Structure 1
């Protein structure tokens, strides 16, 4: 079964420069990991203002892994830890949603 890892970042500095820095770091450190089936990272769409739309984040990371083992290896990988070390100072809040997916 595939495994989805979705992370919603709320930033201290919400500027274009900082949002793009986070996205670029994701491409550099996270996207190349083995076992990724699908990788996406981008900014919240401000025009989506329906009552069900969460407005409390700035950047979303959505990765689908081939399986849970690939996710678990990613979590302890050096590139993942480098991404965190480089970017975490600008994180006000990080919410993670993990699930098995078909």
Structure 2
């Protein structure tokens, strides 16, 4: 993707809900405000979700784990720890668009 296309894509994402997964399995859900050349991302009105550790004495029975969350507000997610970036949309929003958005996998 060329630089001008990348800039246009990022501008289109401003104030969209992004779901960012980090290398330590945390997930941040918030409004995209900006990014810098080091791929650090700033989110506003952000919630952090953590997957709880699995119970120690689990047999063959299935166990449902609830993700714990907390409100953080304005957050900088360091680019070096980002594993995956997703745009969170409702079905009604997806139907209105012609071109599909793609999730971004950071490798």
TM category (shorter chain) comes to under 0.3
Larger Rg computed on CA atoms: 2
TM-score by length of 1: 0.25
RCO comparison, higher one (Cα < 8 Å, 6+): 1
Relative to total residues, which structure has the larger helix share, 1 or 2?
1
TM-score by length of 2: 0.24
Relative to total residues, which structure has the larger strand share, 1 or 2?
2
